């Protein structure tokens, strides 16, 4: 007999019990998921049956299969696609549509049962509202209940800001009682085509729109990832946002990204404020590095650190920011050195001596800190805008472990849980 969780949110833990098996024997559990593109993803693990004839997958050691050790979500994050090339072309989920995972258990050629779990990407009661007026292209997620709710602005990075990951995150935070606005800032209708000359005033208007909603109450927070993490730090510095969560960020302002063949190596501003470009670090004297046929930009950005005078000129004066800042980074980030960058940011932030800054670095993790209930096996994907294969890196198990911690740390930061010694 196989009994599993009915539904899981992004930070959930799979409960899976096999019963009526023979003590001491080995049970194999298979997981299967089919995505919207028709691709099939599979994982499996073997476990020893306890003396009472049961296996509790959350605490049982995997004896072999798709993952090692004891991990409640091991069968989920270790799901791997049958068609790798197809899986590299698109995100595993279609924005916030649910995913369904079929589970089956067997021992000694005997079937022990089947179950299905739904990964619920839009929490129950959350309302999704498209926002296309006012020059915006975004999605507003309203929590259940009467409110009012604390507001949070969510955006991604070089995907244009409104990718599936940002939408899922906004929906998740709405499920935890935050009025979340996921907004694009380029590569969407009515917006610039490239990550070039993006005006911070656009986000000023987005924050004003968000805080003026009748469901909104309190000062807004911002959550950004990658180039969006860089942007989040800028919004705290230039716009006075009180609470900033920056995932795999940079305190160095980098050049924009164009659609030219060498668009990663540009000498154009990414951001503007009050009509002037924000000082940035040019990449035209760098080169692109490839790992396993995919772009890995960390060596490029490390090369750019050789001229420290240029780096200092592009460094944000975060000591002048009044924001409480949470930085989250991956130690094995091949897209850019987010762990090093976060420490550079902390060096500036600590000058304030107010304890309102914290850096959490995840060992073994790469650029994508994957929710633990979603596959973490895709470490090379095709970039949404440029179309090139890019290396996200990290060890799948570490990426999933980091993803779980990201949500916990972010919720604590949004709630303002910090002390004079730092964020708790």
Digit-by-digit pLDDT tens for the chain (424 residues) are: 999 999 999 999 999 999 999 999 999 999 999 998 899 999 999 999 999 999 999 999 999 999 999 999 999 999 999 999 999 999 999 889 999 999 999 998 899 999 999 999 999 999 999 999 999 999 999 999 998 999 999 999 999 989 999 999 999 999 999 999 999 999 999 999 999 999 999 999 999 999 999 999 999 999 999 999 999 999 999 999 999 999 999 999 999 999 887 888 999 999 999 999 999 999 998 899 998 899 999 999 999 999 999 999 999 999 999 999 999 999 999 999 999 999 999 999 999 999 999 999 999 999 999 999 999 999 999 988 878 999 999 999 999 999 999 999 999 999 987 544 444 3
Residues 326 and 188 in one domain: yes
Residues 181 and 298 in one domain: yes
Contact of 395 with 31, CB cutoff 8 Å: no
**Main-chain phi, psi angles of 377, to 5 degrees:** -90, -10
How far the first Cα of the chain sits from its last, in Å, is: 42
> Which residues neighbour 261 within 8 Å (Cβ) at sequence distance 6 or greater?
none
101/182 Cα distance (integer angstroms): 27
CB-CB neighbours of 323 under 10 Å: 25
Contact of 405 with 359, CB cutoff 8 Å: no
pLDDT at residue number 315: 98
Contact of 1 with 78, CB cutoff 8 Å: no
Residues 114 and 138 in one domain: no
127-131 and 138-142 strand pairing: antiparallel
141/51 Cα distance (integer angstroms): 48
Residues 90 and 147 in one domain: no
The DSSP letter of residue 278 is P
CATH of the domain at 51: 2.60.40.2240
Residues 133 and 113 in one domain: no
pLDDT at residue number 209: 97
Across 108-130, b (16+ Cβ under 10 Å) vs e yields: eeeebbebebebbbbbeebebee
Q: Which two tokens stand for residue 181?
A: 């606005």
Contact of 296 with 333, CB cutoff 8 Å: no
119, 150, 180: which is the final residue of a domain? 119
**pTM for this entry:** 0.96
Structural domain span for residue 21: 2-119
Q: Residue for token digits 């420290």?
A: 308
74, 100, 119: which is the final residue of a domain? 119
67, 93, 119: which is the final residue of a domain? 119
Distance between alpha carbon 7 and the CA centroid of its chain, in Å?
21
pLDDT at residue number 395: 97
pLDDT at residue number 417: 76
H/E stretch holding 347: helix 338-349
- Of the candidates 39, 75, 46, 115, the residue with the CA atom closest to the CA atom of residue 375: 75
Residues 29 and 140 in one domain: no
249/236 Cα distance (integer angstroms): 13
Residues 245 and 342 in one domain: yes
- Of the candidates 402, 404, 372, 378, the residue with the CA atom closest to the CA atom of residue 391: 378
Residues 183 and 235 in one domain: yes
pLDDT at residue number 161: 81
Residues 293 and 383 in one domain: yes
Q: Which two tokens stand for residue 216?
A: 């909104």
- How many domains would you assign to the chain? 2
């Amino acid at each position: 007999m196989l009994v599993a969780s009915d539904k899981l949110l992004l930070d959930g833990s799979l409960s899976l019990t096999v019963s009526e098996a023979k003590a001491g024997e080995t049970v194999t559990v298979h997981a299967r998921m089919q995505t919207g593109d028709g691709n099939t993803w599979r994982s499996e693990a073997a476990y020893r049956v306890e003396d009472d004839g049961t296996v509790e997958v959350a605490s049982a050691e995997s004896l072999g299969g798709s993952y090692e050790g004891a991990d409640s979500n091991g069968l989920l994050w270790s799901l791997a696609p049958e068609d790798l090339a197809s899986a590299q072309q698109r995100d595993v989920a279609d924005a916030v549509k649910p995913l369904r995972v079929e589970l089956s258990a067997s021992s000694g050629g005997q079937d022990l049962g089947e179950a299905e779990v739904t990964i619920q990407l839009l929490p129950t009661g959350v309302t999704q509202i498209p926002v296309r007026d006012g020059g915006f292209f975004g999605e507003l997620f309203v929590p259940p209940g009467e409110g009012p709710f604390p507001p949070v602005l969510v955006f991604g990075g070089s995907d244009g800001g409104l990718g599936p990951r940002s939408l899922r995150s906004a929906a998740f935070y709405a499920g935890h009682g935050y009025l979340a606005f996921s907004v694009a800032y380029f590569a969407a209708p009515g917006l610039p085509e490239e990550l070039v000359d993006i005006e911070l005033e656009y986000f000023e208007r987005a924050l004003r729109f968000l805080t003026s909603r009748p469901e909104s109450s309190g000062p807004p927070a911002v959550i950004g990832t990658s180039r969006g993490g860089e942007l989040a730090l800028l919004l705290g510095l230039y716009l006075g946002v009180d609470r900033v969560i920056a995932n795999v960020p940079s305190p160095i302002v980098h050049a924009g990204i164009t659609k030219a063949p060498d668009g990663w190596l540009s000498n154009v501003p990414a951001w503007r404020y009050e009509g002037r470009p924000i000082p940035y670090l040019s990449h035209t004297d760098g080169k692109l590095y490839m790992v396993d046929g995919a772009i890995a930009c960390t060596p490029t950005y490390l090369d750019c650190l050789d001229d420290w005078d240029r780096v200092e000129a592009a460094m944000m004066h975060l000591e002048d920011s009044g924001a409480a800042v949470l930085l989250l980074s991956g130690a094995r980030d091949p897209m850019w050195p987010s762990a090093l960058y976060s420490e550079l940011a902390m060096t500036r932030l600590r000058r304030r001596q107010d304890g309102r800054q914290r850096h959490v670095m995840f060992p073994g993790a790469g650029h994508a800190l994957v929710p633990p209930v979603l596959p973490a096996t895709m470490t090379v994907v095709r970039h949404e805008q440029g179309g090139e294969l890019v290396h996200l890196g990290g060890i799948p198990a570490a990426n999933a472990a980091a993803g779980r911690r990201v949500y916990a740390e972010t919720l604590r930061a949004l709630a303002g849980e910090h002390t004079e010694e730092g964020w708790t």
